[in-house]
Protein backbone atom coordinates (compact mmCIF):
# COMPACT_ATOMS: atom_id res chain seq x y z
CA UNK A 1 0.00 0.00 0.00
CA UNK A 2 1.36 3.41 -0.93
CA UNK A 3 1.42 6.00 1.84
CA UNK A 4 0.28 9.59 1.27
CA UNK A 5 3.89 10.76 1.77
CA UNK A 6 5.04 8.39 -0.95
CA UNK A 7 2.21 9.25 -3.32
CA UNK A 8 2.56 13.01 -3.15
CA UNK A 9 5.84 14.61 -4.20
CA UNK A 10 6.91 18.00 -2.86
CA UNK A 11 5.62 20.77 -5.08
CA UNK A 12 7.74 21.90 -7.99
CA UNK A 13 8.80 25.53 -7.59
CA UNK A 14 10.44 27.99 -9.94
CA UNK A 15 11.57 31.58 -10.22
CA UNK A 16 13.28 33.33 -13.10
CA UNK A 17 14.84 36.61 -14.19
CA UNK A 18 16.35 38.05 -17.37
CA UNK A 19 18.94 40.83 -17.39
CA UNK A 20 20.74 42.67 -20.19
CA UNK A 21 24.29 43.89 -20.72
CA UNK A 22 25.04 46.94 -22.87
CA UNK A 23 28.20 46.33 -24.95
CA UNK A 24 30.32 49.19 -26.25
CA UNK A 25 31.98 49.86 -29.57
CA UNK A 26 35.75 49.44 -29.58
CA UNK A 27 36.10 46.54 -27.12
CA UNK A 28 37.80 43.29 -28.23
CA UNK A 29 35.49 40.85 -30.03
CA UNK A 30 35.13 37.16 -29.34
CA UNK A 31 34.95 34.55 -32.15
CA UNK A 32 37.65 36.22 -34.25
CA UNK A 33 41.16 34.99 -34.99
CA UNK A 34 42.91 38.36 -35.28
CA UNK A 35 42.01 40.32 -32.14
CA UNK A 36 39.52 42.58 -33.90
CA UNK A 37 37.21 44.92 -32.02
CA UNK A 38 33.45 45.41 -31.91
CA UNK A 39 32.68 48.01 -34.56
CA UNK A 40 28.95 48.45 -33.91
CA UNK A 41 26.28 47.47 -31.40
CA UNK A 42 23.05 46.10 -32.88
CA UNK A 43 21.42 45.04 -29.60
CA UNK A 44 21.98 44.48 -25.92
CA UNK A 45 22.92 40.96 -24.79
CA UNK A 46 20.41 39.18 -22.57
CA UNK A 47 20.98 36.37 -20.07
CA UNK A 48 18.40 34.40 -18.09
CA UNK A 49 18.51 32.61 -14.74
CA UNK A 50 15.87 29.97 -13.94
CA UNK A 51 15.81 28.51 -10.42
CA UNK A 52 13.98 25.16 -10.17
CA UNK A 53 13.43 23.19 -6.96
CA UNK A 54 11.51 20.15 -5.82
CA UNK A 55 12.48 18.71 -2.47
CA UNK A 56 16.19 18.02 -2.51
CA UNK A 57 16.38 18.41 -6.30
CA UNK A 58 17.66 21.92 -6.93
CA UNK A 59 19.11 23.55 -10.04
CA UNK A 60 19.81 27.05 -11.31
CA UNK A 61 20.10 27.26 -15.09
CA UNK A 62 22.09 30.25 -16.36
CA UNK A 63 21.56 30.72 -20.12
CA UNK A 64 23.63 33.39 -21.84
CA UNK A 65 25.00 34.30 -25.29
CA UNK A 66 28.56 34.26 -23.90
CA UNK A 67 30.66 31.09 -24.27
CA UNK A 68 31.98 28.90 -21.47
CA UNK A 69 35.24 26.98 -21.36
CA UNK A 70 38.35 26.57 -19.24
CA UNK A 71 40.02 29.55 -20.94
CA UNK A 72 37.15 31.88 -19.98
CA UNK A 73 36.75 31.99 -16.19
CA UNK A 74 33.18 33.29 -16.58
CA UNK A 75 32.35 29.70 -15.72
CA UNK A 76 33.88 29.83 -12.23
CA UNK A 77 32.73 33.39 -11.57
CA UNK A 78 29.11 32.67 -12.51
CA UNK A 79 29.00 29.57 -10.34
CA UNK A 80 30.52 31.41 -7.38
CA UNK A 81 28.07 34.31 -7.63
CA UNK A 82 24.97 32.17 -8.18
CA UNK A 83 25.80 29.60 -5.53
CA UNK A 84 26.28 32.37 -2.97
CA UNK A 85 23.15 34.34 -3.96
CA UNK A 86 20.86 31.32 -4.33
CA UNK A 87 22.20 29.17 -1.47
CA UNK A 88 23.20 26.40 -3.89
CA UNK A 89 26.39 24.42 -4.34
CA UNK A 90 28.40 25.15 -7.50
CA UNK A 91 27.45 21.66 -8.69
CA UNK A 92 23.79 22.75 -8.66
CA UNK A 93 24.47 25.53 -11.17
CA UNK A 94 24.16 24.61 -14.88
CA UNK A 95 25.54 26.97 -17.51
CA UNK A 96 24.32 27.05 -21.12
CA UNK A 97 25.47 29.19 -24.06
CA UNK A 98 23.48 30.06 -27.17
CA UNK A 99 26.84 30.06 -29.01
CA UNK A 100 26.19 33.57 -30.30
CA UNK A 101 29.10 34.57 -32.52
CA UNK A 102 28.54 38.30 -32.00
CA UNK A 103 29.69 39.05 -28.46
CA UNK A 104 32.58 41.00 -26.91
CA UNK A 105 35.45 39.01 -25.44
CA UNK A 106 34.75 38.71 -21.73
CA UNK A 107 37.64 38.68 -19.28
CA UNK A 108 37.13 37.60 -15.66
CA UNK A 109 40.10 36.35 -13.65
CA UNK A 110 40.64 35.33 -10.02
CA UNK A 111 42.05 37.92 -7.64
CA UNK A 112 45.16 37.38 -5.50
CA UNK A 113 42.97 36.11 -2.67
CA UNK A 114 41.41 33.45 -4.89
CA UNK A 115 38.17 35.37 -5.44
CA UNK A 116 36.96 34.11 -8.87
CA UNK A 117 35.60 37.60 -9.63
CA UNK A 118 38.77 39.43 -8.64
CA UNK A 119 39.65 41.02 -11.98
CA UNK A 120 37.50 41.78 -15.01
CA UNK A 121 37.29 43.94 -18.11
CA UNK A 122 34.28 46.24 -18.50
CA UNK A 123 31.93 43.66 -20.01
CA UNK A 124 33.12 41.09 -17.46
CA UNK A 125 32.39 43.47 -14.59
CA UNK A 126 28.98 44.22 -16.09
CA UNK A 127 28.28 40.48 -16.11
CA UNK A 128 29.40 40.13 -12.47
CA UNK A 129 27.17 43.03 -11.43
CA UNK A 130 24.23 41.76 -13.47
CA UNK A 131 24.47 38.28 -11.98
CA UNK A 132 24.67 39.57 -8.42
CA UNK A 133 21.84 42.04 -8.87
CA UNK A 134 19.54 39.60 -10.66
CA UNK A 135 20.15 36.56 -8.46
CA UNK A 136 19.73 38.52 -5.24
CA UNK A 137 16.25 37.84 -3.90
CA UNK A 138 15.40 35.31 -6.62
CA UNK A 139 14.95 32.53 -4.06
CA UNK A 140 12.27 34.61 -2.34
CA UNK A 141 10.33 34.67 -5.62
CA UNK A 142 9.95 30.88 -5.87
CA UNK A 143 6.34 29.89 -6.56
CA UNK A 144 4.66 26.52 -7.17
CA UNK A 145 4.53 25.63 -10.87
CA UNK A 146 3.30 22.91 -13.16
CA UNK A 147 4.87 21.78 -16.43
CA UNK A 148 3.45 21.99 -19.94
CA UNK A 149 5.21 21.52 -23.24
CA UNK A 150 4.60 21.91 -26.92
CA UNK A 151 6.53 21.31 -30.12
CA UNK A 152 6.56 22.97 -33.53
CA UNK A 153 8.92 22.62 -36.47
CA UNK A 154 10.99 25.29 -38.24
CA UNK A 155 12.36 24.36 -41.68
CA UNK A 156 13.14 27.78 -43.16
CA UNK A 157 16.23 28.89 -41.26
CA UNK A 158 18.96 26.27 -41.29
CA UNK A 159 20.96 23.90 -43.46
CA UNK A 160 23.49 21.13 -42.90
CA UNK A 161 26.89 22.69 -43.52
CA UNK A 162 28.85 19.43 -43.80
CA UNK A 163 29.10 19.11 -47.56
CA UNK A 164 30.31 16.04 -49.40
CA UNK A 165 32.22 16.02 -52.68
CA UNK A 166 31.95 13.38 -55.40
CA UNK A 167 35.15 11.71 -54.14
CA UNK A 168 33.58 11.26 -50.69
CA UNK A 169 35.62 13.96 -48.93
CA UNK A 170 33.76 16.52 -46.85
CA UNK A 171 33.94 20.30 -46.64
CA UNK A 172 32.58 23.20 -44.59
CA UNK A 173 29.64 24.56 -46.58
CA UNK A 174 29.29 28.31 -46.15
CA UNK A 175 26.70 30.41 -47.98
CA UNK A 176 28.68 30.73 -51.21
CA UNK A 177 29.03 26.92 -51.27
CA UNK A 178 25.37 26.36 -50.41
CA UNK A 179 24.32 28.59 -53.31
CA UNK A 180 26.08 26.23 -55.73
CA UNK A 181 23.73 23.44 -54.62
CA UNK A 182 20.64 25.56 -55.19
CA UNK A 183 18.92 28.29 -53.22
CA UNK A 184 16.65 25.76 -51.50
CA UNK A 185 19.38 23.36 -50.33
CA UNK A 186 18.90 22.32 -46.70
CA UNK A 187 20.23 18.79 -46.15
CA UNK A 188 19.66 16.94 -42.89
CA UNK A 189 18.65 19.41 -40.18
CA UNK A 190 16.82 19.23 -36.87
CA UNK A 191 13.69 21.37 -37.31
CA UNK A 192 12.27 20.67 -33.83
CA UNK A 193 11.52 23.82 -31.80
CA UNK A 194 10.19 22.67 -28.42
CA UNK A 195 9.02 24.99 -25.66
CA UNK A 196 8.66 23.88 -22.04
CA UNK A 197 6.47 26.12 -19.87
CA UNK A 198 6.56 26.43 -16.09
CA UNK A 199 3.12 27.76 -15.15
CA UNK A 200 1.98 29.29 -11.88
CA UNK A 201 -1.32 28.55 -10.12
CA UNK A 202 -3.11 31.11 -12.28
CA UNK A 203 -1.95 29.35 -15.44
CA UNK A 204 0.40 32.16 -16.46
CA UNK A 205 3.97 31.31 -17.40
CA UNK A 206 6.58 31.89 -14.71
CA UNK A 207 9.44 30.81 -16.98
CA UNK A 208 10.09 28.85 -20.16
CA UNK A 209 12.78 26.82 -21.89
CA UNK A 210 13.10 26.98 -25.68
CA UNK A 211 15.50 24.98 -27.86
CA UNK A 212 16.50 25.20 -31.50
CA UNK A 213 19.42 23.76 -33.46
CA UNK A 214 21.64 25.96 -35.61
CA UNK A 215 24.73 28.15 -35.47
CA UNK A 216 23.36 31.72 -35.15
CA UNK A 217 25.55 33.22 -37.86
CA UNK A 218 23.14 34.85 -40.30
CA UNK A 219 24.66 38.32 -39.83
CA UNK A 220 28.14 37.29 -38.73
CA UNK A 221 31.53 37.96 -40.26
CA UNK A 222 34.68 37.57 -38.12
CA UNK A 223 36.39 40.37 -40.03
CA UNK A 224 33.52 42.76 -39.26
CA UNK A 225 32.61 42.07 -35.59
CA UNK A 226 29.52 43.46 -33.91
CA UNK A 227 27.55 42.98 -30.71
CA UNK A 228 24.20 41.37 -31.44
CA UNK A 229 21.95 38.85 -29.69
CA UNK A 230 21.27 37.17 -33.05
CA UNK A 231 18.07 35.18 -33.61
CA UNK A 232 18.18 33.15 -30.34
CA UNK A 233 17.76 36.36 -28.35
CA UNK A 234 15.29 38.01 -30.71
CA UNK A 235 13.09 34.91 -30.85
CA UNK A 236 13.09 34.25 -27.10
CA UNK A 237 12.38 37.92 -26.43
CA UNK A 238 9.33 37.70 -28.70
CA UNK A 239 8.24 34.49 -26.95
CA UNK A 240 8.69 36.16 -23.56
CA UNK A 241 6.48 39.05 -24.65
CA UNK A 242 3.87 36.56 -25.88
CA UNK A 243 3.97 34.89 -22.46
CA UNK A 244 3.35 38.13 -20.61
CA UNK A 245 6.99 38.85 -19.84
CA UNK A 246 8.01 35.46 -18.44
CA UNK A 247 11.79 34.96 -18.73
CA UNK A 248 12.79 32.46 -21.44
CA UNK A 249 16.08 30.52 -21.41
CA UNK A 250 17.41 29.51 -24.82
CA UNK A 251 19.12 26.15 -25.23
CA UNK A 252 21.26 25.60 -28.33
CA UNK A 253 20.79 22.19 -29.93
CA UNK A 254 23.34 19.82 -31.47
CA UNK A 255 24.41 22.37 -34.07
CA UNK A 256 27.97 21.22 -34.82
CA UNK A 257 27.12 20.76 -38.49
CA UNK A 258 24.03 22.97 -38.70
CA UNK A 259 24.14 26.65 -39.72
CA UNK A 260 21.55 29.33 -40.04
CA UNK A 261 21.51 30.54 -43.62
CA UNK A 262 23.60 33.40 -45.08
CA UNK A 263 26.82 32.86 -43.08
CA UNK A 264 29.39 35.60 -43.88
CA UNK A 265 27.05 37.26 -46.38
CA UNK A 266 23.92 37.92 -44.32
CA UNK A 267 22.39 41.35 -43.73
CA UNK A 268 20.65 42.59 -40.59
CA UNK A 269 17.39 42.37 -42.51
CA UNK A 270 18.02 38.67 -43.14
CA UNK A 271 19.00 38.12 -39.50
CA UNK A 272 15.74 39.68 -38.37
CA UNK A 273 13.86 37.54 -40.89
CA UNK A 274 15.38 34.40 -39.38
CA UNK A 275 14.37 35.66 -35.94
CA UNK A 276 10.83 36.29 -37.16
CA UNK A 277 10.60 32.71 -38.43
CA UNK A 278 11.79 31.26 -35.12
CA UNK A 279 9.61 33.63 -33.07
CA UNK A 280 6.56 32.49 -34.97
CA UNK A 281 7.49 28.84 -34.47
CA UNK A 282 8.25 29.17 -30.74
CA UNK A 283 4.93 30.93 -30.21
CA UNK A 284 3.16 28.19 -32.13
CA UNK A 285 4.81 25.57 -29.88
CA UNK A 286 3.89 27.49 -26.73
CA UNK A 287 0.27 27.89 -27.84
CA UNK A 288 0.11 24.14 -28.52
CA UNK A 289 1.52 23.27 -25.08
CA UNK A 290 -0.39 20.71 -23.08
CA UNK A 291 0.04 19.91 -19.38
CA UNK A 292 2.60 17.21 -18.62
CA UNK A 293 1.39 14.04 -16.95
CA UNK A 294 3.29 15.08 -13.83
CA UNK A 295 5.42 17.92 -12.53
CA UNK A 296 8.27 15.89 -11.11
CA UNK A 297 11.82 17.14 -11.41
CA UNK A 298 14.93 15.01 -11.07
CA UNK A 299 18.41 15.52 -12.47
CA UNK A 300 21.99 14.35 -12.21
CA UNK A 301 25.50 14.87 -13.44
CA UNK A 302 27.11 11.97 -15.26
CA UNK A 303 30.35 11.18 -17.06
CA UNK A 304 30.65 10.60 -20.80
CA UNK A 305 33.65 9.26 -22.67
CA UNK A 306 34.73 9.59 -26.30
CA UNK A 307 37.45 7.30 -27.74
CA UNK A 308 40.63 8.73 -29.26
CA UNK A 309 42.67 7.41 -32.19
CA UNK A 310 46.45 7.20 -32.71
CA UNK A 311 48.33 10.15 -34.19
CA UNK A 312 49.14 10.14 -37.92
CA UNK A 313 52.50 8.77 -39.07
CA UNK A 314 55.67 10.87 -39.14
CA UNK A 315 55.59 10.98 -42.95
CA UNK A 316 51.99 12.15 -43.00
CA UNK A 317 52.62 14.85 -40.37
CA UNK A 318 55.68 16.16 -42.22
CA UNK A 319 53.71 16.35 -45.47
CA UNK A 320 50.91 18.26 -43.74
CA UNK A 321 53.33 20.76 -42.21
CA UNK A 322 54.86 21.39 -45.63
CA UNK A 323 51.38 21.91 -47.11
CA UNK A 324 50.49 24.42 -44.37
CA UNK A 325 53.72 26.38 -44.76
CA UNK A 326 53.26 26.68 -48.51
CA UNK A 327 49.63 27.78 -47.98
CA UNK A 328 50.62 30.50 -45.49
CA UNK A 329 53.27 31.93 -47.85
CA UNK A 330 50.73 32.17 -50.66
CA UNK A 331 47.96 33.56 -48.42
CA UNK A 332 50.21 36.24 -46.92
CA UNK A 333 51.12 37.24 -50.45
CA UNK A 334 47.42 37.86 -51.14
CA UNK A 335 46.71 34.80 -53.29
CA UNK A 336 42.91 34.69 -53.62
CA UNK A 337 43.08 31.01 -54.59
CA UNK A 338 44.28 29.92 -51.14
CA UNK A 339 41.03 28.06 -50.56
CA UNK A 340 42.04 24.67 -49.15
CA UNK A 341 44.69 23.28 -46.84
CA UNK A 342 45.03 19.96 -44.90
CA UNK A 343 41.33 19.21 -45.39
CA UNK A 344 40.16 22.70 -44.46
CA UNK A 345 38.35 24.86 -47.01
CA UNK A 346 37.96 28.62 -46.90
CA UNK A 347 35.47 31.03 -48.49
CA UNK A 348 36.34 33.95 -50.71
CA UNK A 349 34.30 36.07 -48.28
CA UNK A 350 37.34 35.94 -45.94
CA UNK A 351 40.56 37.67 -46.92
CA UNK A 352 43.65 35.56 -47.73
CA UNK A 353 45.51 36.99 -44.72
CA UNK A 354 42.64 35.96 -42.43
CA UNK A 355 42.69 32.47 -43.93
CA UNK A 356 46.39 32.23 -43.02
CA UNK A 357 45.51 33.11 -39.41
CA UNK A 358 42.97 30.28 -39.31
CA UNK A 359 45.59 27.63 -40.10
CA UNK A 360 48.14 28.89 -37.53
CA UNK A 361 46.72 26.86 -34.61
CA UNK A 362 46.37 23.84 -36.89
CA UNK A 363 50.06 24.08 -37.70
CA UNK A 364 50.86 24.08 -33.98
CA UNK A 365 48.89 20.84 -33.64
CA UNK A 366 50.83 19.13 -36.44
CA UNK A 367 54.13 20.30 -34.94
CA UNK A 368 53.09 18.93 -31.53
CA UNK A 369 52.00 15.62 -33.04
CA UNK A 370 55.28 15.31 -34.94
CA UNK A 371 57.18 15.93 -31.70
CA UNK A 372 55.25 13.13 -30.02
CA UNK A 373 56.03 10.73 -32.86
CA UNK A 374 59.70 11.64 -33.03
CA UNK A 375 60.11 11.42 -29.23
CA UNK A 376 58.42 8.02 -29.13
CA UNK A 377 55.71 9.25 -26.74
CA UNK A 378 52.72 9.06 -29.11
CA UNK A 379 51.62 5.69 -27.72
CA UNK A 380 51.49 7.15 -24.21
CA UNK A 381 48.77 9.66 -25.11
CA UNK A 382 45.23 9.18 -23.71
CA UNK A 383 42.94 6.80 -25.61
CA UNK A 384 39.73 8.54 -24.54
CA UNK A 385 38.53 11.91 -23.32
CA UNK A 386 36.20 12.13 -20.31
CA UNK A 387 33.71 14.93 -19.76
CA UNK A 388 30.82 15.79 -17.49
CA UNK A 389 27.28 15.88 -18.87
CA UNK A 390 23.94 16.90 -17.40
CA UNK A 391 20.73 14.88 -17.60
CA UNK A 392 17.33 15.92 -16.26
CA UNK A 393 13.68 14.98 -16.39
CA UNK A 394 11.17 17.80 -15.91
CA UNK A 395 7.51 16.91 -16.12
CA UNK A 396 8.36 13.90 -18.22
CA UNK A 397 10.54 15.94 -20.59
CA UNK A 398 14.16 14.80 -20.84
CA UNK A 399 16.94 17.38 -20.98
CA UNK A 400 20.57 16.62 -21.86
CA UNK A 401 23.45 19.08 -21.61
CA UNK A 402 26.63 18.27 -23.55
CA UNK A 403 29.87 20.29 -23.11
CA UNK A 404 30.84 20.16 -26.78
CA UNK A 405 29.61 21.00 -30.26
CA UNK A 406 27.68 17.86 -31.11
CA UNK A 407 26.65 17.03 -34.67
CA UNK A 408 22.95 16.78 -35.46
CA UNK A 409 23.04 12.97 -35.75
CA UNK A 410 24.25 12.74 -32.14
CA UNK A 411 21.24 14.75 -31.02
CA UNK A 412 18.95 12.49 -33.05
CA UNK A 413 20.49 9.40 -31.49
CA UNK A 414 19.84 10.66 -27.96
CA UNK A 415 16.28 11.70 -28.71
CA UNK A 416 15.43 8.44 -30.50
CA UNK A 417 16.91 6.10 -27.89
CA UNK A 418 15.87 7.88 -24.68
CA UNK A 419 12.66 6.70 -22.97
CA UNK A 420 11.15 10.20 -22.60
CA UNK A 421 8.54 11.30 -25.12
CA UNK A 422 10.46 14.54 -25.71
CA UNK A 423 14.15 15.22 -25.12
CA UNK A 424 15.81 18.63 -25.35
CA UNK A 425 19.31 17.79 -26.61
CA UNK A 426 21.39 20.83 -25.73
CA UNK A 427 25.04 21.28 -26.60
CA UNK A 428 27.35 24.11 -25.44
CA UNK A 429 26.53 23.32 -21.79
CA UNK A 430 29.09 23.46 -18.97
CA UNK A 431 32.18 23.94 -21.09
CA UNK A 432 33.56 23.82 -24.61
CA UNK A 433 35.34 20.69 -25.81
CA UNK A 434 34.98 21.91 -29.37
CA UNK A 435 33.42 19.90 -32.18
CA UNK A 436 33.23 16.14 -31.69
CA UNK A 437 32.00 14.26 -34.79
CA UNK A 438 29.44 11.48 -34.82
CA UNK A 439 30.26 7.97 -36.04
CA UNK A 440 29.73 8.93 -39.70
CA UNK A 441 32.19 11.83 -39.56
CA UNK A 442 35.12 10.41 -37.57
CA UNK A 443 38.19 10.52 -39.82
CA UNK A 444 37.04 13.52 -41.88
CA UNK A 445 39.27 16.60 -41.93
CA UNK A 446 36.95 19.50 -42.69
CA UNK A 447 36.69 22.19 -40.01
CA UNK A 448 34.06 20.55 -37.81
CA UNK A 449 35.22 16.93 -37.87
CA UNK A 450 38.90 17.92 -37.78
CA UNK A 451 38.52 20.51 -35.03
CA UNK A 452 40.68 18.50 -32.62
CA UNK A 453 43.59 20.10 -34.48
CA UNK A 454 42.62 23.44 -32.89
CA UNK A 455 42.93 21.91 -29.40
CA UNK A 456 46.38 21.56 -27.88
CA UNK A 457 47.30 17.98 -27.08
CA UNK A 458 44.09 16.37 -28.37
CA UNK A 459 44.58 13.25 -30.56
CA UNK A 460 42.06 12.51 -33.34
CA UNK A 461 38.71 10.96 -32.41
CA UNK A 462 38.01 7.29 -33.02
CA UNK A 463 34.76 5.53 -33.87
CA UNK A 464 32.03 5.92 -32.75
CA UNK A 465 33.05 9.47 -31.84
CA UNK A 466 30.44 11.53 -30.02
CA UNK A 467 27.93 8.69 -30.35
CA UNK A 468 29.76 7.09 -27.41
CA UNK A 469 28.85 10.16 -25.33
CA UNK A 470 25.29 9.88 -26.66
CA UNK A 471 25.12 6.33 -25.25
CA UNK A 472 26.17 7.69 -21.86
CA UNK A 473 23.54 10.43 -22.08
CA UNK A 474 20.82 7.93 -22.94
CA UNK A 475 21.86 5.74 -20.00
CA UNK A 476 21.59 8.75 -17.69
CA UNK A 477 18.11 9.62 -19.01
CA UNK A 478 16.98 6.03 -18.55
CA UNK A 479 18.14 6.09 -14.93
CA UNK A 480 15.91 9.15 -14.32
CA UNK A 481 12.86 7.90 -16.16
CA UNK A 482 9.78 7.16 -14.06
27 and 165, same domain (yes or no): yes
The ranges of the chain with pLDDT < 70 are: 1-8, 69-72
> Taking the CB of residue 482, how many other CB atoms lie within 10 A of it?
8
198 and 332, same domain (yes or no): no
Q: Which domain holds residue 338?
A: 314-380
DSSP category for residue 155: -
- The SS3 call for residue 132 is helix
256 and 338, same domain (yes or no): no
Query: Does residue 435 belong to any structural domain of this protein?
Result: no
Q: What is the helix (H) or strand (E) element at residue 57, kind and residue range? A: strand 57-64
Query: Does residue 230 belong to any structural domain of this protein?
Result: yes
What pTM value is reported for the model?
0.95
- The pLDDT of residue 3: 37
Closest to 369 in 3D by CA, of 406, 330, 314: 314
Contact 341, 359 (CB under 8 A): yes
Pairing of strands 45-54, 57-64: antiparallel
Contact 227, 23 (CB under 8 A): yes
Helix segments in 23-144, DSSP class H:
74-86, 122-135
Q: What is the helix (H) or strand (E) element at residue 230, kind and residue range? A: helix 230-242
CA distances to 145, 195, 296, 458 from 11, in Å: 8, 21, 8, 45
272 and 323, same domain (yes or no): no
Helices and strands in the chain, H and E counts? 10, 24
- The pLDDT of residue 8: 65
Query: Does residue 334 belong to any structural domain of this protein?
Result: yes
Closest to 276 in 3D by CA, of 316, 237, 219: 237
Q: Tell me the per-residue pLDDT of 401-449, one tens digit each, with 9 for 90 and over.
A: 999 999 999 999 999 999 999 999 999 998 879 999 999 999 999 999 9
3-state secondary structure 366-404: HHHHHHHHHHCCHHHCCCEEEEEEEEEEECCEEEEECCC
Query: Does residue 481 belong to any structural domain of this protein?
Result: no
359 and 393, same domain (yes or no): no
Query: Does residue 416 belong to any structural domain of this protein?
Result: yes
Q: Tell me the per-residue pLDDT of 79-109, one tens digit each, with 9 for 90 and over.
A: 999 999 999 999 999 999 999 999 999 989 8
**Degrees (nearest 5) of the Cα angle 137, 139, 144?**
135
Query: Does residue 469 belong to any structural domain of this protein?
Result: no
- The pLDDT of residue 251: 98
> How buried is residue 375: exposed, middle or buried, by Cβ count under 10 Å (0-12/13-18/19+)?
exposed
- The pLDDT of residue 63: 98
Query: Does residue 471 belong to any structural domain of this protein?
Result: no
100 and 137, same domain (yes or no): yes
DSSP 401-440: E-SSEE-HHHHHHHHHHSSSSEEEEE-SBSS---EE--TT
235 and 105, same domain (yes or no): yes
- The pLDDT of residue 115: 85
Pairing of strands 384-394, 397-401: antiparallel
197 and 262, same domain (yes or no): yes
Contact 77, 128 (CB under 8 A): yes
- The pLDDT of residue 2: 39
235 and 362, same domain (yes or no): no
Number of domains in the chain: 2
> CA 181, CA 432: separation in Å to the nearest integer?
32
Domain boundary among 352, 380, 408: 380
374 and 396, same domain (yes or no): no
250 and 356, same domain (yes or no): no
Query: Does residue 473 belong to any structural domain of this protein?
Result: no
Contact 56, 47 (CB under 8 A): no
Amino acid sequence: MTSLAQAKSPSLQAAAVTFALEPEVGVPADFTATGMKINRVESDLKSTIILIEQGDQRMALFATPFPFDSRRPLQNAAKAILSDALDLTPAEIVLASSHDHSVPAMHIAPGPDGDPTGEANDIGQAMIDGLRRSASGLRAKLVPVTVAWGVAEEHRMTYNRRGQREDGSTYFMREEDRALLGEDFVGQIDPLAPVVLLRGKDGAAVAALALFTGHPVTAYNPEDPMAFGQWPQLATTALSEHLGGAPVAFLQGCAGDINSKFMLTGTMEQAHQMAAYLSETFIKAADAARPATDSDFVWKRATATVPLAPLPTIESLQASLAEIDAFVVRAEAGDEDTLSCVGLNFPRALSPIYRSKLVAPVRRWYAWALEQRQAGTADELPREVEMGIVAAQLGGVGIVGLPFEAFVRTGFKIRQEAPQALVLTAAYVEGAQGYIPDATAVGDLEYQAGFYRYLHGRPPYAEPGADAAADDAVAALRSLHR
